[in-house]
Structure 1
Amino acid sequence: MSDDSVMIAANDDTLDPLADEADSGTKNRAKVGSSRPSALLYTFGVGSVMDLPHFSVMPAGLDDWDRIWARRPTIPSIDEPRLLDVVRLHLGPQVSALRPFPWQPKTNMKSQEGSDIGVPARVFPQYMRCTGCQKLAPLHEFTYTNTHPFRPDLAIFEHSNCPGRGARGRGASAKNGQTKSKKQVRPVTPARYLLTCPNGHLDEFPYDLWVHRGQQCDKAKHPDLKMRDNNVGQGTSTTIICMTCGKTRGMSEALGDAGKKKLPLCRGRHPHLNAFDSSCGSESTLIMMGASNLWFSSTQSVIVMPRSEAEDEASLADKLRSAFEPDKLTKYADLPDIFRDVIGDSIDLSGVTDEELTAAVKIALAPLPSEAERQEKLKKWDPVDLLVPEWNFLQKAPLMDQHEDPSGLMVTPTPKSDRLPAQISQVIAVNRMKKINAFLGFTRLDDMDRVEDVASRLVSMTLSGRPKWVPATEDRGEGIFLQLDEVAVAKWEAEIEASSLWEAHRDSHFRNYSRRMSATGKVGDPDERFPSARYWLIHTLSHALIREMAMSCGYPAASLSERLYAWKGDAQRKPAAGMLICTTSSDSAGTLGGLVALSAPDRLEMLVNRALRRACRCSSDPVCAQRTPKVPEDFLHGAACHCCSFASETSCERSNRFLDRRFLVNLPSADGDVVRGFFDVR
């Protein structure tokens, strides 16, 4: 775990792990775990279920984060107006800032700096199962221990009076001809079954009602339950047993379409908000605690680029709007000298002239766009809009040999080797770069691309449903930018899109879109989701280079990521054909220089040519080389597999979809349709 890991804490009365089940008890104000910022953004963010060594927690909503930040006189923010505009477009104009995760570095291992801040969380699920006697009960029936200040991994729930699995369990002793079971302390683990719905609600499984088939136990109001596995590792063989009345019921009955009819309707619970949405009533779905479709994050990211004067003014206006009420801004709108004294040290005004300050105040006082205007703009928004400024900057080589911008971006144009394929028109070493990632929300059951990016499917992160800020991370790193010759790409693309192979890929995408669209999604045009042939080309080349670079740069393959610039030109933007292969991290691991070193002419020439030669062969050939989707198949790749082209999920921006080695190099075809690879390697 790196030094920049964020502590996960249940350190507020309203977030006490026992509060959901009991109003009294010892309050837990200690740390229970830690996580890297990137994991909190993409894997264990607000509303997710995060596994700790002995139990699971759910990071709380942003309302509870505000109480954590209130412990500091000033709240840090990440200044990136281009990304903030996109967040506002999706979540509303009330979003005023991008904030880092609550964290403070320590001067030494035993110091107490930052011990009072962390990501607030609550224990979830709150039904636990004893590893000794298999008792199934809520939290308040077990004992919680978390006393070591420097070992949050020792936090644990235990069954202090566990009798064991039988009358003569472990520790039993005989005296005077009688058998007596010795009580023991056993750890408990989370019960793994949950209920969810397409609207993003998540709830505990009603074990009591399940085993009694929707009724109360006729012998006790709170009966004793047990969860017994008939076969280890097979969740469907689990049986719930009521020890009070003797009734049993298997969990296999809750599976499938038939099982849905036996489950209660969704209660609209949001555990991360400690609240219920009574307007749901949707059909519930059984889900396991570690299921991959329990939580999908929705994020947007940008690479920090040099700003224009308008962006600087907008950034200052955001800070003023967040720090001062409109009446105060109006009062000092034309008094910049006095306003500077009022602002003091709360906002950095170094280098800001009186004219720029006055202009920023006017922008801050301007009326925000209406909801109708925002929705209309959101319909027309294209994620490519975030990439256009980056492409425009990177494809133009700086006038000097090395250029470092105040934004933190440092690039160096690199000469091409004579043996580098001529189709690569430009190489730029990105010595330093900064990437900002913002968390917009999350969905359950369906990823955003399966609901046609309907923003209403995002689960709220606040009780009001309109967050005033969103979590963000600031990563630093390095990379290599490669630009392909646009004339060659356009000519090759026209040939490919007229081939039968391209038509097969297009038909397979249509089948995939039709079959996997969420039942609650907005049906759109599949062709709008189908990337152009140049995207397939650049994406496949990127994966080939990532796999090759990982053997030479000193970074693991999972640390390398791609940022693809691949779109046809239109009235709003010029065509693009290039890629940035980079590595970024919130600590120094992203700036070691090993990746930039590969941009040297001789090393890059050897690396690219070797990657293309490897693309000509796969250990799964000829099956892989001749793979073309046919009815009823709906996979979204061609000549690509784990042996030759697939990359880790942290590296690929499209989950290993839209890949085909035949677009890079010439490969044999089973049906005789010869497709010319862009690099035409023989």
Structure 2
Amino acid sequence: MSKTPVGEVRPSQLLWTYGPGALIDLPNLSVVTMGIDRWELGRCQPIQEARLLTNVRRVLGDQVESLRMPPLTDSDVVDPFSAEALVGVPVKPFPRWMRCVKCGLLSPFDAGLFELKANRYRPERTRFVHKGCTGSRGDQKPRDADAVPARFLLACREGHLDDFPWHWFVHGGPSGCKGTLRFFESGASLQTENLWVRCDSCSAAKSMAQAFGQVGKDNLPGCRGRHPHLNRFEDGCAEVPRAILLGATNGWFPVTLSVLAIPQTGSPLAQFVADGWTFFEDVENAVEAAAVVKTLKKSAQLPGINAFTGDQVWEAIKAHRGGTVGDEELDLKGPEWDVLTSPKPPTDYPHFMSKKADVPAGFEPYLSRVLLLERLREVNALLGFTRVESPNEGGGAERAPRAPIGRTAPNWVPATQVHGEGIFLQFSEDALMNWAMGSGPRAQEAELRRGHRGWRARRGLDPDPGFPGLRFALLHTIAHLLIRELALDCGYNAASIRERVYADTESGKSQAGILIYTAAADSDGTLGGLVELGKPENLRRLLRQALDRAKVCASDPLCAEHNPRTDASLHAASCHACSFVSETSCECGNRYLDRTLVIPTLQVTDAAFFAGL
């Protein structure tokens, strides 16, 4: 594989946007990120988070040994020809088909008609060129012309991705014609009906509009089961492929797990040992423990462990070995809820610092606890990806199949860690129970459930499973309203504030809370602006402002009158003007939202949880 640098992305983007199997649309070419078996493992720094690793193993298997950061360079590289300049994630050009911007020639880049022009000093200028192009009419002086990726691809729900079958499409199926193909425009606009492909030899031509919709199924071949990031074809894919555009959001959806690094032991030292168990599991005595502590201090892989002696660490290791590891079901939020709602929440741990705050005046009937998290850490792991439909598109057991990130069962997975701060609100269980028994909330729950059933039925899924319940819809909406209000005052942009909704009532614990937190890869996530707004006098003002803004939406009466049953949607009185937030902030893609559950609206006045205010 060529060692030509072609661009840069942030480490977090390799988990959420440009992970293995995803297309990176660079200024002059498009590449696909290769599977993790091609990554330079020695450059991928381990991340210690025992709880997340345990849950990853339950999904991918016990062979997973570690969570690791994407490969990073040690410093800013000056010499583009040095070995350090070659550190990064391997990619290859995809799609293979390129188009000349002057003559419209369509051809694979490996057919010899296009040439790669590398630029090590300016990697973003690396591009393909059409050598000796004479223009569309052939009467110009031959000169090199830029070649850009063909903008059409094939993808299926199994996660396969393939080049668009240009010859098949133009000739209406298998054909012996090997003529040169040209891509041209016939109108002023760039709508698909004005984009055409023509064969120079037999003059066959077809509009790209015939590649989409129902007619596209008749003009496209079956799925070949191609995984370009693994250089592999799979046999027997029965999914119907569909044409997608290069750069479209439905080309790659990450399947991830995320946890908050919470204390699960009785002391900070025990937590250190649990978090860094991969470093301590082979230690046999206090001398070896001291040596490991010294190494960790130099490598800064477990900050804070150097405050303890070798003897103390050895005693903690023995205590950890004497404990038992539970085999409970996959539960990411349950342990977090236990810590956040404990009578004496942890106050000063390596990645978790909390402080109790008073409930804002006037909200005592609705809130039972406010906890300010001055320090927290979120760790995310990439398990796989889907195409065409997002991982939570079907919900429950009918989720879209997860495509692999490597050729074999992985023994490590890409992960990122971010630090931040947050505000945790626990709602009164009695208030929620009394509210849910009202006729208004029950009527709104019925409407949301009908929308949920219709939404799933339109996608060929069992209509009943997956509905999160009325409590989740209420807490989810409150979280969105509060995020929008906090973004105006806290100093963070709205996309950097996230939510975590605790609304599980089926595991024997009645959860009822929301965590609003920031998370950034550097110190920007812990500036203190969010915790300051969690103090009673500030939180009271923000909650009242959020509720006041929710009463009337700029899109009312259309927003307030929206019925999820009529269009089989997953939200009721909600829109971008009142309660939607960015996709990076929401847990479930702006679904299951309804302002009428929070505050009386123009359409519904008897379903509001905060009706007393």
Range into which the TM-score falls when normalised by the shorter chain: 0.7 to 0.9
Which residue of 310, 335, 339 corresponds with 1:393?
Answer: 339
Offset at 1:623? 2.9
Instruction: Could you tell me which runs of 5 or more consecutive residues in structure 2 were left unpaired when the two chains were aligned.
Output: none
Tell me, yes or no, if structure 1 residue 135 matches structure 2 residue 105: yes
Task: Check conservation: 1:391, 1:576, Cα contact below 8 A.
Answer: yes
Distance in 1 between residues matched to 2:289 and 2:352, nearest whole Å: 30
Tell me, yes or no, if structure 1 residue 126 matches structure 2 residue 96: yes
Tell me, yes or no, if structure 1 residue 283 matches structure 2 residue 246: no
Instruction: Quickly say closer, same or farther: Cα 1:235–1:669, change in 2 above 3 A.
Output: closer
Distance in 2 between residues matched to 1:597 and 1:145, nearest whole Å: 53
Offset at 1:646? 1.2
Tell me, yes or no, if structure 1 residue 146 matches structure 2 residue 127: no
Tell me, yes or no, if structure 1 residue 646 matches structure 2 residue 592: no
Offset at 1:492? 0.9
Instruction: Could you tell me which runs of 5 or more consecutive residues in structure 1 were left unpaired when the two chains were aligned.
Output: 1-12, 17-28, 169-180, 322-328
Q: What secondary structure is seen at the aligned counterpart in 2 of 1:430?
A: strand
Comparing 533-542 with 121-130, which one deviates more in the overlay? 533-542
Matched residue type, 1:468 = N
Task: Check conservation: 1:388, 1:573, Cα contact below 8 A.
Answer: no
Which residue of 187, 191, 207 corresponds with 1:234?
Answer: 191
Which residue of 589, 597, 600 corresponds with 1:655?
Answer: 589
Task: Check conservation: 1:55, 1:157, Cα contact below 8 A.
Answer: yes
Which residue of 431, 438, 450 corresponds with 1:507?
Answer: 450
- Equivalenced residue count is 593
What TM-score comes out, normalization by structure 2 length? 0.88
Offset at 1:447? 2.3
Instruction: Quickly say closer, same or farther: Cα 1:410–1:338, change in 2 above 3 A.
Output: closer
Write the deviation string for residues 611-645 of structure 1: whole angstroms up to 9, x where unpaired. 11111111222332233334x43112222122111
Task: Check conservation: 1:268, 1:281, Cα contact below 8 A.
Answer: no
Instruction: Quickly say closer, same or farther: Cα 1:621–1:166, change in 2 above 3 A.
Output: same
* Partner in structure 2 of residue 423 of structure 1: 366
Instruction: Quickly say closer, same or farther: Cα 1:165–1:562, change in 2 above 3 A.
Output: same
* Partner in structure 2 of residue 198 of structure 1: 157
Tell me, yes or no, if structure 1 residue 544 matches structure 2 residue 468: no
Comparing 545-554 with 345-354, which one deviates more in the overlay? 345-354
Residue identity (%) = 36
Tell me, yes or no, if structure 1 residue 621 matches structure 2 residue 556: yes
Instruction: Quickly say closer, same or farther: Cα 1:94–1:634, change in 2 above 3 A.
Output: same
Task: Check conservation: 2:435, 2:609, Cα contact below 8 A.
Answer: yes
Instruction: Quickly say closer, same or farther: Cα 1:607–1:450, change in 2 above 3 A.
Output: closer
Task: Check conservation: 2:273, 2:316, Cα contact below 8 A.
Answer: no
Task: Check conservation: 2:193, 2:209, Cα contact below 8 A.
Answer: yes
Offset at 1:85? 1.2
Offset at 1:110? 6.8
Offset at 1:668? 3.9
Task: Check conservation: 1:398, 1:413, Cα contact below 8 A.
Answer: no
Which residue of 195, 206, 209 corresponds with 2:168?
Answer: 209
Matched residue type, 2:124 = D
Matched residue type, 1:271 = P
Q: What secondary structure is seen at the aligned counterpart in 2 of 1:115?
A: helix
Task: Check conservation: 2:286, 2:313, Cα contact below 8 A.
Answer: no
Task: Check conservation: 2:441, 2:597, Cα contact below 8 A.
Answer: no
Q: What secondary structure is seen at the aligned counterpart in 2 of 1:84?
A: helix
Which residue of 505, 508, 516 corresponds with 1:581?
Answer: 516
* Partner in structure 1 of residue 601 of structure 2: 667
Offset at 1:496? 5.4
Comparing 125-134 with 409-418, which one deviates more in the overlay? 409-418
Task: Check conservation: 1:336, 1:354, Cα contact below 8 A.
Answer: no
Write the deviation string for residues 500-541 of structure 1: whole angstroms up to 9, x where unpaired. 2221221221111222246xxxx4x72x41122221111111
Tell me, yes or no, if structure 1 residue 487 matches structure 2 residue 444: no
Offset at 1:201? 1.3
Write the deviation string for residues 530-574 of structure 1: whole angstroms up to 9, x where unpaired. 122221111111111111111111111122111111222x5x442
Instruction: Quickly say closer, same or farther: Cα 1:236–1:96, change in 2 above 3 A.
Output: farther
Instruction: Quickly say closer, same or farther: Cα 1:669–1:262, change in 2 above 3 A.
Output: closer
* Partner in structure 1 of residue 180 of structure 2: 224
Distance in 2 between residues matched to 1:268 and 1:132, nearest whole Å: 33
Matched residue type, 1:194 = L
Task: Check conservation: 1:303, 1:436, Cα contact below 8 A.
Answer: yes
**Structure 1 segment 416-455 matched on structure 2, within 5 A:** 416-420=359-363, 422-451=365-394, 452-453=396-397
What TM-score comes out, normalization by structure 1 length? 0.80
Distance in 1 between residues matched to 2:456 and 2:494, nearest whole Å: 30
Q: What do you get for the CA RMSD once the two structures are aligned?
A: 3.2
Matched residue type, 1:511 = G
Task: Check conservation: 1:106, 1:113, Cα contact below 8 A.
Answer: no
Instruction: Quickly say closer, same or farther: Cα 1:499–1:562, change in 2 above 3 A.
Output: same
Task: Check conservation: 1:42, 1:297, Cα contact below 8 A.
Answer: yes
Offset at 1:147? 2.1
